[in-house]
Homo-oligomer: A and B are copies of this chain.
Amino acid sequence: MSTNDTTQSEKTQDSSQKVTFGSEAPLRLDCGVELKNHTIAFEAYGTLNEQKNNAILICHALTGDQYVASPHPITKKPGWWDIVIGPGKIFDTDKYFIICPNVIGGCMGTTGPKEINPDTGKPWGVEFPVITIPDMVRQQALLISHFGIDKLFMVVGGSMGGMQALEWASTYPDRVFASIPIATAPHHSAQNIALYEVGRQAIMADPEWCDGKYLEQGRTPKRGLSVARMAGHITYLSEASLQQKFGRRLQDRHEVTFGFDADFQVESYLRHQGSTFVDRFDANSYLYVSRAMDYFDLAGNNGGVLANAFKDTPVRFCVISFTSDWHYPTAESRLTVKALNAVAANVSFAEIESDKGHDAFLLDEPEFHNVLSGFINGAAKHWGLS
């Protein structure tokens, strides 16, 4: 799949693939650093048609990865959005060519703090340059070009994936036919910056973090990363869903133990979330990718006016939020919708009634799935795909 002298593509040990770009396609980052060599790992499903116009890019969230519809190589769990991607499913792999890349700064094969810095021969660690959502999208655009795709049929993502879906439409309006930003925001709120800062401080407070050089020293800041995950995980669920799922029910006991064990099911669940997360995620990646979210500010990058990010956009949008999502509440999605309306963009907006909180976008929510398939099928018709 190599398109020129220096670009190299390879199959990895698991199902995912990698493309490494060389000097012909350096990645200029927002921080000013230029990565001369950089790799992007991705999963692909379905077949790119001859016209190369049936490609859908799926963008993952903070702790997601490219394993959107295939088993995770470490956890062995099904893909994180398996429910909607596959033959005959909403994102029908019999019709569409689906690409899901790991973001730059991530830890599943794409260039990031866990990978080796070619200049030193050691893992980058915190020497890795701080990346942004636009950086992620810029690297993805190189991958899309590598496939010979001029224009994506669609970019889709939830949470941080939704930020990428917005950024794609803003930066490459002529390379995207439609965009579905889900449960997301055009910038991080103060509360979200604060919540992620707690996670980062927990990681950096762990002495096993070793000032970011833990990989070199053969250590892992498991406890700090676990606390960060626990703090994050609470924001993914609504109060109501926590109450329904766990309430005040005790974990394998009839009475409280008057101690600091996980007496309550919700404690046990959270500890489990924390301790399993560290097996599949890199602590420095958590710092970098969460920082990219904090820095995301579509209005700020467009003269302080969000509508400017979408001036004269030809892209069709379907903006989706969930009533019980307090991490990226509907009000944040409305900012995007208002800006799109201000530039007379083609935009559908759906606020889905759900008590499942932010994570609703990953779950079996029939109304949400109806909106998705309705929009995709309509867009496919307009784009001449069906």
Report the minimal beta-carbon distance from A270 to chain B, rounded to whole angstroms: 6
Q: Check if A35 is an interface residue, CB within 8 A of chain B.
A: no
| Other A-B pairs, 11, CB within 8 Å; known A126-B260, A189-B242, A190-B246 | A190-B247, A191-B243, A194-B266, A194-B270, A198-B198, A198-B227, A198-B270, A200-B260, A202-B202, A248-B300, A260-B287
CB contacts (< 8 Å) of A300 on chain B: these are 248
Closest 4 A/B residue pairs (Cβ): A205-B223, A31-B258, A130-B258, A190-B242
Question: Of B194, B195, B243, B326, which is within 8 A of A189 by CB?
Answer: B243
Scoring A126, A129, A193, A207 by chain B CB atoms within 10 A of each residue's CB, the highest score goes to: A193
Q: List 18 A-B contacts (CB under 8 A).
A: A32-B258, A126-B260, A130-B260, A190-B246, A191-B242, A191-B243, A193-B267, A194-B242, A195-B234, A197-B264, A201-B223, A202-B227, A205-B223, A205-B226, A205-B227, A239-B326, A239-B329, A248-B300
Question: Of B188, B194, B206, B326, which is within 8 A of A205 by CB?
Answer: B206
Q: Are B227 and A201 in contact, with the CB atoms below 8 A?
A: yes
Q: Are B242 and A226 in contact, with the CB atoms below 8 A?
A: no
CB contacts (< 8 Å) of A193 on chain B: these are 248, 264, 266-267
| Count class of interface residues, chain A | 35 or more
Report the minimal beta-carbon distance from A68 to chain B, rounded to whole angstroms: 28
Q: Check if A274 is an interface residue, CB within 8 A of chain B.
A: yes
CB contacts (< 8 Å) of A256 on chain B: these are 295
Q: Which of chain A's residues 74-91 have a Cβ closer than 8 Å to chain B? A: none
CA A187 – CA B248 in complex, angstroms?
Answer: 9
Q: Are A130 and B234 in contact, with the CB atoms below 8 A?
A: no
* Nearest B residue (CB) for A245: B190
CB contacts (< 8 Å) of A242 on chain B: these are 189-191, 194
Q: Are A243 and B190 in contact, with the CB atoms below 8 A?
A: yes
Copies assembled: 2
CA A326 – CA B206 in complex, angstroms?
Answer: 30
* Nearest B residue (CB) for A29: B258
CB contacts (< 8 Å) of A200 on chain B: these are 260
Scoring A30, A256, A291 by chain B CB atoms within 10 A of each residue's CB, the highest score goes to: A256
Mask for A291-323, Cβ within 8 A of B = 1, else 0? Answer: 100110100100000000000000000000000
Q: Check if A230 is an interface residue, CB within 8 A of chain B.
A: yes
Q: Which of chain A's residues 23-53 have a Cβ closer than 8 Å to chain B? A: 30-32
Q: Which of chain A's residues 225-281 have a Cβ closer than 8 Å to chain B? A: 226-227, 230-231, 234, 237, 239, 242-243, 245-248, 256, 258-260, 262-264, 266-267, 270-271, 274
Q: Check if A204 is an interface residue, CB within 8 A of chain B.
A: yes
Q: Are B224 and A201 in contact, with the CB atoms below 8 A?
A: no
CB contacts (< 8 Å) of A195 on chain B: these are 234
Q: Are B191 and A239 in contact, with the CB atoms below 8 A?
A: yes
* Nearest B residue (CB) for A287: B260
Report the minimal beta-carbon distance from A223 to chain B, rounded to whole angstroms: 4
CA A126 – CA B206 in complex, angstroms?
Answer: 21
* Nearest B residue (CB) for A256: B295
CA A329 – CA B224 in complex, angstroms?
Answer: 30
CA A297 – CA B256 in complex, angstroms?
Answer: 12
CA A188 – CA B256 in complex, angstroms?
Answer: 14
CA A190 – CA B240 in complex, angstroms?
Answer: 9
Given known pairs A198-B227, A201-B230, A326-B326, the reply for A259 and B130 (CB within 8 Å) is yes
Q: Which of chain A's residues 56-83 have a Cβ closer than 8 Å to chain B? A: none
Q: Which of chain A's residues 176-198 have a Cβ closer than 8 Å to chain B? A: 187-191, 193-195, 197-198
